[in-house]
Amino acid sequence: MNPSTALARILVDELVRCGLAEAVVAPGSRSTPLALALVAHPDVRVHVRIDERSASFLALGLARVSRRPVAVVCTSGTAAANFHPAVLEADESGVPLLVLTADRPPELRGTGANQTVDQIGLYGGAVRMFTEVGTPDPVPGMVAYWRSLACRAWASAMGGRPGPVHLNLAFRDPLTPDVDTGPWPESLEGRGGGGPWTARPGPFTAPAPFSLPDVERGVIVCGDGDYDPAPFLTLAELTGWPLLAEPTSNARRAGAISTYRHLLASPRLASGPAPELVVSVGRPNLSRQILAFLRRAERHVVVSAGALGDPAAGVPNAFSDPARTATDVVAAVSPPAGLDSAFPRSTDWSRTWRRAEWAARAAVDAVLDEEEALSEPRLARDLVAHVAAGSLLFAGSSMPIRDLDATMHARCGVRLVGNRGVSGIDGTVSTAIGAALAHQRDGGGAAYALLGDLAVLHDQNGLVIGAQEPRPDLAVVVVNNDGGGIFSGLEQAGHPAFERVFGTPHGISMERVAAMADLSYTRLEWATDLPKALLGEGLRLIEVCTRRSDGTALRRRIQGAVDAAVDEVL
């Protein structure tokens, strides 16, 4: 066996022993040993993509939903640089990735050799671990090195703060397994029984919870993140504190304040008493309103849960505090002492929020239901309401996630995800496809994505899937307002150069995009037709055409209706 093949096969075998089940490969010559080793392994489902950026975001989506590391492989040169946006998103959102970049051997670096760049530490501080693996040599000790390194990489990706790991692998010729350079000086086998070279430690000891003070004006804020929302829903029920849940927290269930975005922008509520205590978890950074609300709190307890901290340490090693108002950072919380679970507490504060929620909810729905033509906010509300329990919904990072935040009712049974770590436009189609593939491999139901037109155009290559590749059952619902709709509600909208520099009209129908990728296409205009349009199988595009100016005006009208309704009940 030649050294390059030996390294690739041992690395893949050891990663599978750790739990690797999915890998994404972007084609290239220098990465041949890894690609062939992955395709040959019966326990790895391999996905091939022609575009490295698409490949890396596909891996991100697979890893986000499956909650286990996914390997993504590329050749040397600019291929590795195209992984960088997905690595940044994985870092910020705590998604485990194994980034395996092939490289030229040291003797070719810095010589002007083709497809050679400096890949050492390419992703900087965005990775949990970087290793220059070194060129494979047929000497004793290599097998233990490679297998222990694979285990260390897996543990680093899955650690207290999950995220990307980068292994840079320099391969010398020959790159294909059919060239045998002689016997290996030691056994290539791993541990007996199929276990990993280095066993992972058992479960972390649960940290002692921080006992919350007993206050009336408490609030619970659930931001984006992959954590269990149940303790915070229970806390809200026991204390009577309002629970404000962003969509991708998956905590907007029965009892949550579904209209908090409008309520925090309402002058009547905003001018009322400040919260004595805010308990936040995840990344609460979707709206300016929530950040302003955090700044008003007398005390702010940040709970570092799931991917945001290492429970074994007792004190979290990472936490989200975008408003820089945290007074306490803890790993877990418990309700104030003395509360009776049989009698949820009702106070003036809790009753005020509940009355405001009822009034605002009715006001939002009344405005949205005035017309049957689908607006962007109504599409968001109706889409999440219509999908069946067990479904997955991927939300784009611009207006789709904000419209969901502003309009969706509280409900359970639907898992909402999105690229909220960096909230970039990169790779949203590919991430949604990866998320759907992982969701359905694990036995989940249908999958949907709500994206903007620019996000789809930015990642059209994500729709190009080879005939032999696994394909998801995914309906991609695209809001086409011919440009950058999010800017229409910001200060830039009044500038004379707005339309060219920020609006960026493109004039492209999603029907042409669907034709490019040979996908089924539906154009949707009326709200009553949404359930029918969502029917179907496979990867498909559903287009809803809107005007940016109409969406901006409608959102302002909704806020005005909420303000009036809140004034009336408070």
Encode pLDDT of 276-330 as tens digits: 999 999 999 898 899 999 999 999 999 986 543 344 433 345 688 988 899 998 9
Confidence (pLDDT) at 311: 41
Please compute the mean of the pLDDT values over residues 384-410 and round it to a whole number. 96
Burial of 41 (0-12, 13-18, 19+ CB in 10 A): middle
Please compute the mean of the pLDDT values over residues 520-529 and round it to a whole number. 96
Confidence (pLDDT) at 488: 67
Helix, strand, or coil here: 486? helix
Please check the confidence at residue 68 and state whether its pLDDT lies above 50. yes
Q: What is the DSSP letter of 205?
A: P
Confidence (pLDDT) at 312: 41
Helix 52-66 to helix 428-441 angle (10° resolution) is 40
Please answer whether residues 521 and 510 qualify as being in contact, where contact means their C-beta atoms are separated by less than 8 angstroms: yes
How many other CB atoms are there within 10 angstroms of residue 339's CB atom? 16
Going by C-alpha positions, the residue among 27, 69, 67 that lies closest to residue 44 is 69
Residue 462 CA to residue 23 CA, distance in Å, equals: 16
Mean of all residue pLDDT scores within the chain: 91
Instruction: Please name the residues in contact with 488: beta carbons below 8 A apart, sequence gap of 6 or more.
Output: 503, 548, 549, 551, 552
What is the end-to-end Cα distance of the chain in Å, rounded? 78
CA 337 to chain centre: 36
Going by C-alpha positions, the residue among 457, 449, 521, 523 that lies closest to residue 484 is 457
Confidence (pLDDT) at 315: 39
Q: What CATH class does 376-545 carry?
A: alpha beta
Fold of 3-183: Rossmann fold (3.40.50)
The rounded radius of gyration (Å) of the Cα atoms in the chain is 25
Fold of 210-355: Rossmann fold (3.40.50)
Please compute the mean of the pLDDT values over residues 167-185 and round it to a whole number. 91
Sign of CA dihedral 62, 64, 69, 73: positive
Confidence (pLDDT) at 495: 73
Sign of CA dihedral 172, 178, 180, 184: positive
Confidence (pLDDT) at 496: 72
Phi and psi, residue 519, nearest 5°: -115, 155
* Percent of the chain clearing pLDDT 70 (strictly above): 94
Residue 416 CA to residue 250 CA, distance in Å, equals: 6
Confidence (pLDDT) at 201: 60
Residues constituting the chain: 570
Please compute the mean of the pLDDT values over residues 423-438 and round it to a whole number. 96
Q: Which two tokens stand for residue 338?
A: 């003395």
CA 46 to chain centre: 21
Q: Which two tokens stand for residue 444?
A: 């989940």
Please check the confidence at residue 560 and state whether its pLDDT lies above 70. yes
Please check the confidence at residue 546 and state whether its pLDDT lies above 90. yes
Instruction: Please name the residues in contact with 7: beta carbons below 8 A apart, sequence gap of 6 or more.
Output: 33, 133, 136, 142, 146, 169, 171
* Residue 432 confidence class, pLDDT cut points 50, 70, 90: very high
Please answer whether residues 273 and 434 qualify as being in contact, where contact means their C-beta atoms are separated by less than 8 angstroms: no
Q: Decide: pTM greater than 0.75.
A: yes
Q: What is the pLDDT of residues 103-132, one digit of tens each?
A: 998 887 878 788 788 899 999 999 999 999
Q: Which two tokens stand for residue 281?
A: 């978890």
Same fold, 210-355 and 376-545: yes
Residue 539: beta bridge partners? 474
> Omega into 27 within 30° of 0, i.e. cis?
no
Residue 412 CA to residue 423 CA, distance in Å, equals: 24
Confidence (pLDDT) at 309: 38
Residue 36 CA to residue 27 CA, distance in Å, equals: 11
In three-state form (DSSP H/G/I as H, E/B as E, the rest C), the secondary structure along 33-77 is HHHHHHHHCCCCEEEECCCHHHHHHHHHHHHHHHCCCEEEEECCC
Q: What is the pLDDT of residues 507-517, one digit of tens each?
A: 899 999 999 99
Please answer whether residues 383 and 393 qualify as being in contact, where contact means their C-beta atoms are separated by less than 8 angstroms: yes
- H helix or E strand, kind and range, residue 534: helix 530-534
* Percent of the chain clearing pLDDT 90 (strictly above): 79
For residues 188-216, b (16+ Cβ closer than 10 Å) or e, as one string? eebeeeeebbbeeeeeeeebeebebeebb
Please compute the mean of the pLDDT values over residues 176-195 and round it to a whole number. 90
CA 475 to chain centre: 18
- The region that residue 87 occupies, defined by phi over 0 for left and psi between -120 and 50 for alpha, beta otherwise, is alpha
Confidence (pLDDT) at 318: 66
Going by C-alpha positions, the residue among 210, 265, 218 that lies closest to residue 241 is 218
Per DSSP, the residues of 218-239 read: EEEEE-BSSS--HHHHHHHHHH
Domain boundaries, the chain: 3-183, 210-355, 376-545
Distances from the Cα of 188 to the Cα of 1, 11, 167, angstroms: 10, 11, 20
More confident residue, 108 or 250: 250
Please answer whether residues 113 and 179 qualify as being in contact, where contact means their C-beta atoms are separated by less than 8 angstroms: no
